[in-house]
Chains A and B, each alone.
Chain A
Amino acid sequence: MTYPTLIVLVGTTLLGSTAGVLGSFAVLRRRALVGDLLSHAALPGLCLAFLVLGRSFSGMVAGALLTGLVAIGLMTLVCRFTRTKEDAALGIVLSTFFAAGVVLLSVIQKQTGGGSRAGLESYIFGQAAGMNLRDVWMIAGLSLASLVMVLLLYKELKLLSFDPGFARAQGWPTFLLDMAIMGTLCVVTVVGLPAVGILMVAVLIVPAATARFWTERLSLMLVLAAAAGGLAGAVGTLLSAGLLQEWVGFDPLAFGDRTKNLPTGPLIVLCATAVFLASLLFAPRRGIVARAAAELRLRAKTAREHLLRTLFELSEPHLPERPVVTVEQLLAQRAWSRAWARWLVWWGQRRGSVERAGGGVRLTEVGLGRAAKLVRAHRLWELYLIRGANIAPDHVDRDADAIEHLLTPELVAELEAQLEPAAVAELPGGVPESPHVISPHDEERPA
């Protein structure tokens, strides 16, 4: 790796991490699009500064901030004093400032006689290669300042983001705190523009949204957002420099030499999105895969419990004998396919609730106990619906069917306490008699 590339790498990694942390507050505060407005509205400021002061990094940052803040102010005014809603106001102000910026840009290009010499278009697409040591020092300073601010004001920012009304009632200067966090975010956005371009807004939002998938704690969310942002910055830069392809010996798009000098900003954004998609799919609890698995587990549990209950109901007249039940008898009671019924029986065997015997299945001793508990919960709930909620006895079966799998032992105990003991007739395991005629469950669908 060459020295200039190393400098750029440090710069984009720091930028990504800092944007991740500050962006988390913006996302939680529902101010995510402020970064979008700012990065577009910065362009005319950059151009004006270039026209007046020439190529001066700090001058251009100041110019960008100035028009960015003017744009935010204008948007607030438009919302406040006209009937224009926030999203429309954002669109109007953003596009106007950006259009003005593009016009100024072409003026500059004509003036300097030949496109890229001014290098200003990197502020649109981002070209991190132009970063020098001084820029990186500035980014490092800014990152440090942001970090110190978030560490010192962690408690205040947490309260402000969660419940600004309560914060104000407690006497915190919410406006100033808001300015502190959003102001720092603005500065970081503008400083990130030359490296990442207009897409800087993605680096503010995506790492924060990614981190939210993995944790329920704000502190950890900030750390993870910093990690995700830093990772995206680093990998995007390496891809842009063509280094990752070289190291891994893998050229995903078979671009060959053309993979060198791809725009850094879009690559950083694509990397951030890749991490986001991976989180969306695979995060524990909140991820799509985990949620689908939980749903499947619940459905399988429900089906297995239905098997036990059906077997119990078919055995009920013969208790304490445990008669053999044929698959046909089961299918007559439930709208199951033969294969599904077999699978359920297989599961029951594995769990030791069901055994095969003489051309059919029957409950084991253990299975009978489990089934009795389930049927008991089901019938207690039915009784409760009939007596407590005045629902007709022939309607309660399906209602109970939906809920019995979710009843906790505490709830069952409470049900018992509410129903008079006479209703809970003594059967094996204290199962009350069914309050309705047991008929086939037609509404049942195999999972």
Chain B
Amino acid sequence: MPPPPVEIHDMTVAYHRKPVLWDIDLTVPEGKLVGIIGPNGAGKSTLIKAALGLVPLVSGKVEYYGKPYARQRHLVGYVPQRESVDWDFPVSALDVVLMGTYGRLGWVRRPGRRERDEAARCLAQVGMEEFRNRQIRQLSGGQQQRVFLARALAQDALIYFMDEPFVGVDAATEQAIVRLLQSLRERDKTVLVVHHDLQTVSEYFDHVILLNMRLVAAGPTDSTFTNENLQKSYGGRLTILDEAAEAVRLGERSR
């Protein structure tokens, strides 16, 4: 059997030594839209960041098609949270999308005609081609989100991680994102999306990952997105894990 697109094995992640994710074991099947679901502070964004090597792992490993991330970066696209950057930065929408091509350009080489055409195509895919020369502050929140999506498309990856792409967007953008997700699935891409709107989960995603500091359940939406599992992830915080993490933190402090 070929190795799966994403395989996480016994992953524990901590911020300033306070554990936020405990012992995650996870296999993501190919060509599926996967929703990452869980309450606030469940570690949804952390899961993505750890998978992309942006926060260090305390233990465990993450593999993409059987190899570590450092060797498979070119296969992975990333849509960070919109608030993570300064939108007053002096660049145009097209400039931001071009950044998606930087990875394969390598050192020193500048994006040329081919990359610009490619970036323009990606903008068109999210319905933003007419805004290519706009400074990014002059775009609405939803339009900024679509620029970020276009940048990930320009990475031309097999696996995509999206951190809360639906937060604070207008109806037109929500529709554009949904259409984009479907077209990615048709092209057999694997997409993992941090999502917070429980009502739309069954409509948007084939698979779900339910998190609350540890993995609650993962699998096809039909069989996994059940009341019982939701109860397990949302029904009250996991007091013991919380308290343990707090104890670790206090222990560190008092040293």
Interface residues in chain A, defined as those with a beta carbon under 8 Å from any beta carbon in chain B = 28, 30, 152-156, 158-159, 161-163, 165-166, 168-172, 212, 215-218, 221
- Answer yes or no: B67 CB below 8 A from chain A CBs: no
List of 3 A-B pairs having minimum Cβ-Cβ separation, nearest first: A216-B135, A170-B103, A169-B52
| Residue contact A155 to B80, C-beta cutoff 8 Å | no
Q: Which residues of the other chain, A, contact B73 by a CB distance below 8 angstroms?
A: 169-171
Complex Cα–Cα for A156 and B101 (A): 12
Residues of B within 8 A of A (CB): 49, 52-54, 70, 73, 76, 78, 80, 84-86, 89-92, 95-96, 99, 102-103, 105, 107-111, 135, 151, 155
| C-alpha spacing A138/B52, complex, angstroms | 42
The docked-state distance in angstroms from the alpha carbon of A172 to that of B95 is 18
Which B-chain residue is minimally distant from A212 (CB atoms)? B90
CA distance A166 to B90 in the complex (A): 17
Bound Cα distance from A215 to B155, whole angstroms: 28
Chain A residues with Cβ under 8 A from B108's Cβ? Answer: 152-153, 155
19 A-B pairs within 8 Å (CB atoms) are namely A28-B89, A155-B108, A155-B110, A156-B107, A158-B95, A159-B102, A161-B89, A162-B89, A163-B85, A165-B80, A166-B78, A166-B80, A166-B151, A169-B54, A169-B76, A170-B102, A212-B90, A218-B90, A218-B91
**Which residues of chain A are near B109, meaning CB under 8 Å?**
155
Contact between B92 and A216, CB atoms less than 8 A apart? yes
How distant is A60 from chain B, measured CB to nearest CB, in Å? Answer: 34
A155 to B89, CA, bound (A): 14
Contacts of A154 in B (CB 8 A): 110
Query: By the criterion CB–CB under 8 Å, are A171 and B85 in contact?
Result: no
Contacts of B85 in A (CB 8 A): 162-163
Interfacial chain A residues near B135, Cβ < 8 Å: 216
Q: Which residues of A contact B89 (CB under 8 A)?
A: 28, 161-162, 218
Minimum C-beta distance from A162 to chain B (A): 5
A158 partner residues in chain B, CB cutoff 8 A: 91, 95, 99
For A28, list chain B residues within 8 Å (CB).
Answer: 86, 89-90
The answer, among B54, B76, B96, B105, for a CB contact under 8 Å with A155, is B105
CA distance A181 to B78 in the complex (A): 25
Decide: B111 and A155 in contact? CB cutoff 8 A. yes
Q: With A and B bound together, what is the CA distance between A10 and B16 in angstroms?
A: 49
* Chain B residues, Cβ within 8 Å of A168: 52-54
Given contacts A28-B89, A221-B90, contact A171 B103 (CB under 8 A): yes
One of A159, A161, A169, A212 near B53 (C-beta < 8 A) = A169
Known: A155-B111, A162-B85, A163-B99. Contact between A217 and B91, CB under 8 A? yes
By the criterion CB–CB under 8 Å, are A155 and B102 in contact? yes
Is B107 in contact with A216, judged by CB distance below 8 angstroms? no
What is the CB-to-nearest-CB distance from A89 to chain B, in angstroms, rounded to a whole number? Answer: 17
> Residues of A contacting B95 with CB < 8 Å?
158, 218
Q: Are B102 and A162 in contact (CB-based, < 8 A)? A: no
How far does the alpha carbon of A28 sit from the alpha carbon of B73 in the complex, in Å? 27
